[in-house]
Amino acid sequence: MSAASEPIAPAGPPLPTRPGLRAPIAASAAPSRRRGWREPSLLPGFAPAMAFTLLYLSLLVLLPLAALAARPWEHGWQGLWTTLASPRVLAALRLSFGLSFVAAGLNVVMGLVVAWALARYDFPGKRLADAAVDLPFALPTAVAGIALAAIYAPNGWVGALLAPAGIKVAYTPLGVLIALIAVGLPFIVRGVQPVLKDFDAEVEEAALTLGAGPLRRTWQLVLPALTPSLITGFSLAFARAVGEYGSVIFIAGNMPMRSEIAPLLIVIELEQFNYAGAASIGLVMLLLSFAVLITINLVQLAAARRGRR
């Protein structure tokens, strides 16, 4: 499926549309078509485009990752295992992946609401709100982290309100979660918003005339159309959260076994000149993230197939 086919997607049975941001899946082309080196197309330029893609990906992604994968073996399997089996590393991995999953999940719900408000309604200051969604992208993550810590510390604006209730945010895992939600939000909103905008109002109006209530219209018409973009947004927000460092360390408290994220542990290993240890944790994070992304893509594929039927 090429990106160009999106805008002219017919409004009939909700076809799975792809948002602009897309997860790296390639296998969703029409299943009957044979896969080979060359996509049959009238458009020229296959060879240079392909060569450039390979070079670009190699220099930016594949080579650095290969260097990472080559590093942990300095102390053999034993060294790798000792690093990874330590309770502290396991706790950090659990925290990073667990909270990233929760943050991405919450963002799917909250981001959908935000995107809905931005796409469906007009209100004063809408453009401002729209621009604000992208701020977590533009801000240096450290700035975001410091700002969040200042607000959510027990003497900050929000933290001071929560403190009497005994709720501590900054310097606890809850603080980590908030930072991860903040950095992940744009992925969902920006993924869902265009799809929502393009969603044909006539379909909903037709459903209305056929007597479908608002819940049913949302559930059976709008949500299925949004599912692919929500899944993509989820996976991007998740991937970003797993690797997030700058904004988290300022609000996390960084206590071993409790609020220490895996990327911080990598930095700590590096500062002890333990390059192999740092690479071990990095490699495991890479493999775990990869597994999660593949799973998400399989889910997406299954959803797309069901939508097509």
Partner 1 sequence: MIESPKPTSRRGLLAALVGGAVGAPLLSSQVRAQARKPVRLLNVSYDPTRELYKDIDAAYADYWRNRTGQVVTVEQSHGGSGAQARAVIDGLPADVVTLALAYDIDSISDRAHLLPSNWQSRLPQNSTPYLSTIVFLVRKGNPWKIRAWSDLVRPGIATVVPNPKTSGGARWAYLAAWASAVKAPGGNEAAARAYVRDFYRHVPVLDSGARGSTVTFAQRGIGDVLVCWENEAHLALAEFGADKFEIVTPPISILAEPPVALVDKVVDRKGTRVVAQGYLNFLYSPLAQDLIGKHFYRPRDPAAAAKYAAQFPKIPLVTIDETFGGWRKAQAAHFADGGVFDQIYKPA
Binding site for partner 1 (CB under 8 A): 87-88, 149-150, 153-156, 170-171, 249-250, 253-257, 264, 267-274, 277
Residue closer to partner 1 (CB basis): 225 or 279? 279
| Minimum separation from the CB atom of position 43 to partner 1 (A) | 45
Q: How far apart are CA 144 and CA 296, in angstroms?
A: 28
Residue closer to partner 1 (CB basis): 113 or 257: 257
For the bound state, the minimum distance from the C-beta of residue 81 to partner 1, rounded and expressed in Å, comes to 14
Least distance between partner 1 and beta carbon 59 (Å): 20
What b/e string do you get for 249-258 counting C-beta neighbours within 10 Å, with b at 16 or more? bbbbbbeeee
CB 150 to partner 1: min, Å: 7
Q: How far apart are CA 54 and CA 58, in angstroms?
A: 6
CB of 91 to partner 1, least distance (A): 9
User: Which residue's CB is nearer to partner 1, number 222 or number 265?
Assistant: 265
**CB closer to partner 1 out of 55 and 70:** 70
Q: For residues 111 and 186, give the distance between their C-alpha atoms in angstroms, rounded to a whole number.
A: 8
Choice between 158 and 301, CB closer to partner 1: 158
